[in-house]
Amino acid sequence: MGLSAAMEIGKNGLNIYRVATEVTGENIANVNTPGYSRQRVILETAPPTTANGFPLGTGVHIATVERYYDSLLQQQMVNAHTTQGYDTTKSTVLQQIEPSFNEVAQDGLGAAVSNFYASWQDLTLNPAGSAERQAVLSRAQILVDNFNSVSKSLNDSIATQNASLVPQTQDINQILGNIAQLNGQIKTTELVSGNANETRDQRDQLVRDLSQKIGITYTENSDGTTDIKLGANNLVVGSTAGLLSLVPNGSISDVYVTQAGGGAAAILVPQPSTGQLGATLALRDTIIPGYLAKVDTLAMTIANQVNTQHKLGFDLNGLAGINFFDPAATNAATMAINPLLTSTKQIAASGSALLAADSSNALTIAKQQNALTMLGGTATFNSYFDGLVSQIGLDVRASKTTLAQDEAFTKQLTSLRESNSGVSLDEELTNLVKYQRSYQASAKLISTATDMMDIVIGMVR
Amino acid sequence: MRVTANMSAENSLYNIQQGRAKLDRLQELTASGANVNRPSDDPINTRLLLDIGDKLKAGAQYSSNIQKTSTWQQFTYTALTGMSDAVRLAKKLVSSIVNGSSDPTERQSAHDQLVALKQQMVDMGNTQMGDQYLFGGANNTKPFNYSVTASPYYAGDETQQNIEVGANSPIKMNVLGNQVLAADEALATPYGTVNVLKTFDDLIAAVGDSTNPSNVANIKTASIALSDGAQQINNAISDVAARLSRLDNAGKMNASIKNTLETVYSNTQNVDYAKLAVDMNQQKLAFDASLSATAKLSQMSLLDYLK
């Protein structure tokens, strides 16, 4: 050992603090990169020698460059993202549906029902009047238009949900492919040299993105890869990825899965019920059809009740009444005024074939508005519809509240992750100063050793 | 806990967003003046508001029914009063020749007057509102005719029409012509049993004319029947007056219900501007503060002090 050893330590120091500055630089550069985890240089003393008769280290040595990463937090974030993905989609779509039922303005389907029956009341005052008869037909047409329009907007929503499955599954497949690819890179990199920190960050970010779209479970393997499962289905195993596909089933599509490693696509059982994909399926298959079914029930009950009573009456020509609404209609979308009812004279206001100016049948039809017809004889048409509006209001409000909670929870988790893994510029700047000073000191060591070397050489001269 | 600049930024954004959302809601409330702007604002009160809205709509319809029925009853009342006047004139005329007359001119004059009065009765019985006969029942044909001088005098039918003036609260609309003017032909006789038109015909025959002598006995019989007929018409007038009074009551009740419902509606739906103004000021202050704090704090960095 000699002066050259001191110079060697100095040189080592220069190298290492240069690397440390590079790591700090990487942190500073990625301060705003989503999913980036700050890295730090782990320094340790270089192996000691006993050349001087006692053990002394040979300078500093970089043990590893590690990232701040909390796997428990990752797990919680994956779960939170799944819930948030589901609630976001549900809330957004429900808020789009709500305006169709915004009866608070006292204008819409409920008002159309009221006005329709009011026109029958008017008819009781002048059963043979052509103006009153025309009003009944016009109000009926408005009612039918309202039912058609609400039904169309709900059916459109269902179709939109179904169509949105395509980009969603494509997105998921792409992420699965990327995760598998990154798995491969991580495994190869880490076999050769240490930690593939950035690649792991990217993959973890992708896992979080994926969890927002669909509820997955994942396992971190000892070789650095992460396996993804959806229920019992393997979506990613090592560097192979499975995929989701859509197979049309009637007017809608079912989600099929191809397992990682190949095999035939098989229908996913059960169909996804979590994440954005789950919300889309729930909206398509349960929530919106539930509203639609109620609108259909209301439309068909009104049509049947009016038809039944209308057929018991007699029109202005003394003929027995025909169906008022189209009897071939099966739901709110197809509801229509009977195409055979072409003249106002065919409205059967009279209760007798001989009495043109009798109003008894019109009065019976008008009274249907207050009859407890719906929900097993507990609700009128109006209160049934009001109940539906109120239910949609409750659903929207509940989903908004849940979403607000999800956002607060996710924000809290993000804060925790940021607290652990986020880059603090102040901290990095401090490190930078620290490393710069150490670099300066190492350089000073070399120059001091050089001076000492000069002294020694001078002695020889 | 370790805090980074990004965390502060995220927090600031989150809180600014929350503040904005609250301000936006306050702005919406102020601008619309309504507490419930969509069902999800308050699903429970939405139900209440919709229910009140339905009741108000129904009330408006009943109010229109009441008004139209009222007009109908007033027409009926006028027609019946006209009939009553005609019968009164007839009674006066009959009392002047109750013992017949030997003067052909006087007989002819009485005969002509009675014919004219009967025609007046028939005209009143054929009163129309729009194209509906007030006393014709439901078959939309002219109920009485001058030329008819024997039963059946009444060509209408006996359908009692009803109108709803409240939920499940029907009121009789029409007075049946035969019950007033030809009660012996009617199935139901709520006012009396006299056939007033036949009585007129009997009188016209009994009084005689320029060529035929009077029949004193028949004049007396018919004169008694005429008195009963006058009573019968008065009974019908009372019935119509009672209906008018009931309609009036129903109208008042309807208006009072409407008033109550509208009060409840506005109590639930109308915003309290004073409270809103205070809330808005508070929220504005809080929002201002959060913006200011964010602007000041997010600029701070160690970089400013490192040379």
* Tens digit of each residue's pLDDT (9 = 90 or more) over A232-242: 899 999 999 99
Buried b (16+ CB within 10 A) or exposed e, B174-199: bbbbbbbbbbebbeeeebbebbbbbb
What residue in A sits closest to B70 (Cα-Cα)?
A125
What residue in A sits closest to B36 (Cα-Cα)?
A104
Per-residue model confidence (pLDDT) at position A194: 75
- Written as one string, the DSSP assignment of A272-313 is P-SHHHHHHHHIIIIIHHHHHHHHHHHHHHHHHHHHHHHHHS
A355 touches chain B (CB under 8 A): yes
Q: List the Cα angle A306/A311/A315 in 5-degree steps.
A: 105
Sign of CA dihedral A136, A137, A138, A144: positive
Is-cis flag, bond preceding B213, omega within 30? no
Interface mutation vs chain B, best among A291, A391, A413, A418, most B CBs within 10 Å: A418
Q: Which residue has the tokens 């035939």?
A: A264
3-state SS class at A379? strand
Query: What phi, psi does A235 have (nearest 5°)?
Result: -95, -35
Whether pLDDT at A163 is above 80: yes
pLDDT tier for residue B156 given thresholds of 50, 70 and 90: confident
Per-residue model confidence (pLDDT) at position B303: 87
Whether pLDDT at A317 is above 80: yes
Q: List the Cα angle A9/A10/A16 in 5-degree steps.
A: 85
Mean pLDDT of B269-274: 93
Bridge partners for B34 per DSSP: B270
For A64, the enclosing helix (H) or strand (E) is strand A60-67
Interface mutation vs chain B, best among A27, A124, A433, A435, most B CBs within 10 Å: A124
A124 touches chain B (CB under 8 A): yes
d(CA B23, CA B272): 16
Per-residue model confidence (pLDDT) at position A159: 94
Mean pLDDT of A53-75: 89
Mean pLDDT of B33-39: 91
d(CA A368, CA A236): 61
d(CA A210, CA B242): 78
CB contact under 8 A, B138 and A126: no
B68 touches chain A (CB under 8 A): yes
pLDDT tens for A399-442 read: 999 999 999 999 999 999 999 999 999 999 999 999 999 999 99
Whether pLDDT at B229 is above 60: yes
d(CA A55, CA A47): 9
- For strands B132-133 and B162-164, give the pairing: unpaired
Q: Which range, of A255-269, B68-82, B280-294, averages the lowest pLDDT?
A: A255-269
Q: What does the DSSP 8-state code read for residue A370?
A: G
Mean pLDDT of B243-247: 94
CB contact under 8 A, A386 and B301: no
Per-residue model confidence (pLDDT) at position B126: 93
The amino acid sitting at A335 is M
A33 touches chain B (CB under 8 A): no
- For strands A217-220 and A60-67, give the pairing: unpaired
Residue A356 is nearest to which of B46, B139, B301, comparing CB atoms? B139
Bridge partners for A41 per DSSP: A65
Q: What does the DSSP 8-state code read for residue B184?
A: G
CA B134 to chain centre: 17
The H helix count followed by the E strand count for chain A is 11, 9
- CB contacts, 8 Å: A422 with chain B: 4, 6-7
pLDDT tens for A182-240 read: 999 999 998 887 778 899 999 999 999 999 999 999 999 988 899 999 988 999 999 99
Interface mutation vs chain B, best among A97, A104, A374, most B CBs within 10 Å: A104
Whether pLDDT at A134 is above 90: yes
- CB contacts, 8 Å: A133 with chain B: none
Residue A125 is nearest to which of B47, B65, B139, comparing CB atoms? B65
In B143-215, which ranges are continuous DSSP H helix? Answer: 177-181, 196-207
B28 touches chain A (CB under 8 A): no
Residue B43 is nearest to which of A95, A111, A397, comparing CB atoms? A397
3-state SS class at A49? strand
Is-cis flag, bond preceding B190, omega within 30? no
Nearest to A295 by CA among A143, A122, A439: A143
Q: Which residue has the tokens 């200011």?
A: B292
d(CA A78, CA B256): 60
Whether pLDDT at A382 is above 80: yes
- CB contacts, 8 Å: B138 with chain A: 127, 350, 352, 355-359
- Is residue A186 within 8 A of residue A200, CB to CB? The reply is yes
Per-residue model confidence (pLDDT) at position A281: 95
Q: How many CB pairs under 8 A join A and B?
A: 187
CB contact under 8 A, A360 and B162: yes
- CB contacts, 8 Å: B156 with chain A: none
Share of chain B above pLDDT 90, in %: 55
Mean pLDDT of B231-243: 94
B45 touches chain A (CB under 8 A): no
CA A250 to chain centre: 25
Per-residue model confidence (pLDDT) at position B290: 93
- Is residue B134 within 8 A of residue B175, CB to CB? The reply is yes
- Is residue B126 within 8 A of residue B142, CB to CB? The reply is yes
Per-residue model confidence (pLDDT) at position A404: 93
pLDDT tens for A327-368 read: 999 999 999 999 999 889 999 998 888 887 888 899 999 999
- CB contacts, 8 Å: A99 with chain B: 38
Per-residue model confidence (pLDDT) at position A116: 94
What residue in B sits closest to A113 (Cα-Cα)?
B54
Q: Which residue has the tokens 């109208």?
A: B251
Strands (E) located in chain B: 128-129, 132-133, 162-164, 170-172
Residue B57 is nearest to which of A114, A354, A414, comparing CB atoms? A114
- Written as one string, the DSSP assignment of B109-145 is HHHHHHHHHHHHHHHHHT-EETTEETTSTTS-S----
ipTM, two decimals, is: 0.80
Structure tokens at A201: 């960050």
Per-residue model confidence (pLDDT) at position A105: 66
B170 touches chain A (CB under 8 A): yes
A204 touches chain B (CB under 8 A): no
CB contact under 8 A, B65 and A422: no
Q: Is the model more confident about A2 or about A269? A: A269
3-state SS class at A266? strand
For chain A, state the CA radius of gyration.
Answer: 38
For A63, the enclosing helix (H) or strand (E) is strand A60-67
Helix axes of B104-125 and B196-207: crossing angle, nearest 10 degrees: 170
Q: Which residue has the tokens 């669909």?
A: A214
pLDDT tens for B57-79 read: 999 999 999 999 999 999 999 99
- Written as one string, the DSSP assignment of A224-261 is S-EEEEETTEEEEETTEE-EEEEEEETTEEEEEEE-TT
- Written as one string, the DSSP assignment of A88-136 is HHHHHHHHHHGGGG-GGGS-SHHHHHHHHHHHHHHHHHSTT-HHHHHHH
Per-residue model confidence (pLDDT) at position A277: 94
pLDDT tier for residue A1 given thresholds of 50, 70 and 90: low
d(CA A121, CA A364): 9
d(CA B301, CA A239): 43
d(CA A6, CA A24): 27
For A385, the enclosing helix (H) or strand (E) is helix A381-421
pLDDT tier for residue A318 given thresholds of 50, 70 and 90: confident
- Is residue A72 within 8 A of residue A44, CB to CB? The reply is no
CB burial class (10 A; 0-12, 13-18, 19+) of residue A311? middle
CB contact under 8 A, A124 and B10: no
d(CA A217, CA A231): 8
d(CA A71, CA B181): 100
Buried b (16+ CB within 10 A) or exposed e, A191-205: eeeebbbbbbbbbbb
For A67, the enclosing helix (H) or strand (E) is strand A60-67
Bridge partners for B136 per DSSP: none
Nearest to A228 by CA among A244, A211, A245, A247: A211
Share of chain A above pLDDT 90, in %: 74
Mean pLDDT of B77-97: 92
d(CA B27, CA A329): 45
| Closest CA–CA distance from residue A203 to any residue of chain B (Å) | 22
- If one counts every other C-beta atom within 10 angstroms of the C-beta of residue B105, the result is 9
- Is residue B136 within 8 A of residue B142, CB to CB? The reply is yes
